[in-house]
């Protein structure tokens, strides 16, 4: 897959072109901590968002031997409360790796990261490159091959006291680690599906059925297709087969508060799908 992550990379001849881009040594230290599930030092805390995207690209290349290639993108901080918490006025962009993806019903050993979290999410699978000209949620969905329920299991990674900001989140790719993909849902009518995505209710429940999060689809930027438009506005060029994670429906939940697993339901999508994951206690 050709990976194009923002127009900021177009003029980059070498990562060292930006002083704020993480050094090879900093990247190596972060990868060592990330792969060992131990707390890491923040990357690029004093840099700009442009620096953070440079660091993100270097980190993705360094993680490929461990996580597989980048297969898509993720939008983070897509809900207004999350943006306000991190002092942002817009979302942040990250990446998805091939080997992070698990099937519905997977059992995941604890912990899967230094700071593991759970979030109700959704993935849109790009059908064709004409999506890059879309300007509305329905226009996006005209070029989506499938919608897939998604429980993301990110790792916020950073050691206590390290700054978690829009810049440091972007630098580390917005915390990708694992994720559970549900069965594909076809987009038969883009306009109807756009309405359904905004109106659906996404509910995250713990292993005992207790509701932890329940929000409407419109909680994500007014419509879960809008993060795709936002990513493209930042210069991300989408290709057929790319996955796009639209961001968290509601706050992230620590796995220790789930009773050993979670399920996520999408009431209002065709078939009212439900997906789940269980967590295996560490030995």
Q: Tell me the per-residue pLDDT of 224-273, one tens digit each, with 9 for 90 and over.
A: 999 999 999 999 999 999 999 999 999 999 999 999 999 999 999 999 99
pLDDT value, residue 283: 65
Domain spanning 7-280, CATH class:
alpha beta
Residue 4 has pLDDT above 70, yes or no: no
R_g (Cα) of the chain, nearest Å: 18
Each residue of 162-211: pLDDT tens digit?
Answer: 999 999 999 999 999 999 999 999 999 999 999 999 999 999 999 999 99
Strand partners, 279: 108
Counting Cβ atoms within 10 Å, is residue 151 exposed (0-12), middle (13-18) or buried (19+)? buried
The pTM is what?
A: 0.91
Residue 249 near residue 216 (C-beta atoms within 8 A): no
Residues 115, 37: Cα–Cα separation, whole Å? 8
Each residue of 22-67: pLDDT tens digit?
Answer: 999 999 999 999 999 999 999 999 999 999 999 999 999 999 999 9
Provide the sign of the torsion angle of the four alpha carbons 277, 278, 282, 283, taken in this order: negative
pLDDT value, residue 282: 79
Give the H/E segment covering residue 101.
strand 101-103
Report the pLDDT averaged over residues 84-110: 94
Looking up tokens 């994500």, which residue turns up? 220
Residues 94, 144: Cα–Cα separation, whole Å? 20
Strands (E), 134-229: 144-153, 178-181, 201-206, 211-216
pLDDT value, residue 82: 83
Residues 46, 62: Cα–Cα separation, whole Å? 22
Residues 205, 252: Cα–Cα separation, whole Å? 12
Residues 21, 27: Cα–Cα separation, whole Å? 10
Residue 167 near residue 225 (C-beta atoms within 8 A): no
Q: How far apart are the first and last CA of the chain?
A: 38
Looking up tokens 């127009």, which residue turns up? 7
Structure tokens at 209: 């059925």
Domain spans of the chain, in order of start: 7-280
Structure tokens at 50: 């442009």
Instruction: State the number of CA atoms in the 13 A half-sphere of 209 facing the CB.
Output: 0
Phi, psi angle pair for 102, to nearest 5°: -120, 160
């Amino acid at each position: 897959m050709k990976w194009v992550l923002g127009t900021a990379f177009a003029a980059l001849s070498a990562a060292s072109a930006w002083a704020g881009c993480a050094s090879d040594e900093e990247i190596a230290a972060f990868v060592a901590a990330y792969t060992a599930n131990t707390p890491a030092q923040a990357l690029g805390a004093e840099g700009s968002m442009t620096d953070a995207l440079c660091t993100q690209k270097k980190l993705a290349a360094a993680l490929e031997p461990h996580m597989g290639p980048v297969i898509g993108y993720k939008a983070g901080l897509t809900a207004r409360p999350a943006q306000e918490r991190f002092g942002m006025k817009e979302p942040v962009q990250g990446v998805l790796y091939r080997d992070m993806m698990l099937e519905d019903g997977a059992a995941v050993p604890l912990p899967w990261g230094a700071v593991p979290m759970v979030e109700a999410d959704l993935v849109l699978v790009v059908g064709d490159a004409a999506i890059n000209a879309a300007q509305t949620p329905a226009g996006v969905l005209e070029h989506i091959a499938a919608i897939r329920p998604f429980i993301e299991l990110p790792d916020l990674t950073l050691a206590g006291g390290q700054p978690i900001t829009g810049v440091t989140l972007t630098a580390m790719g917005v915390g990708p680690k694992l994720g559970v993909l549900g069965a594909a849902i076809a987009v038969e009518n883009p306009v109807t599906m756009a309405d359904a995505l905004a109106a659906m209710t996404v509910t995250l429940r713990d292993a005992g059925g207790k509701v932890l999060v329940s929000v409407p689809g419109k909680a994500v930027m007014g419509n879960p297709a809008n993060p795709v438009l936002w990513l493209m506005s930042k210069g991300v060029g989408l290709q057929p087969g790319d996955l796009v994670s639209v961001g968290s429906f509601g706050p992230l939940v620590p796995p220790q508060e789930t009773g050993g697993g979670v399920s996520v339901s999408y009431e209002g999508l065709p078939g009212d799908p439900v997906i789940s994951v269980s967590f295996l206690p560490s030995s």
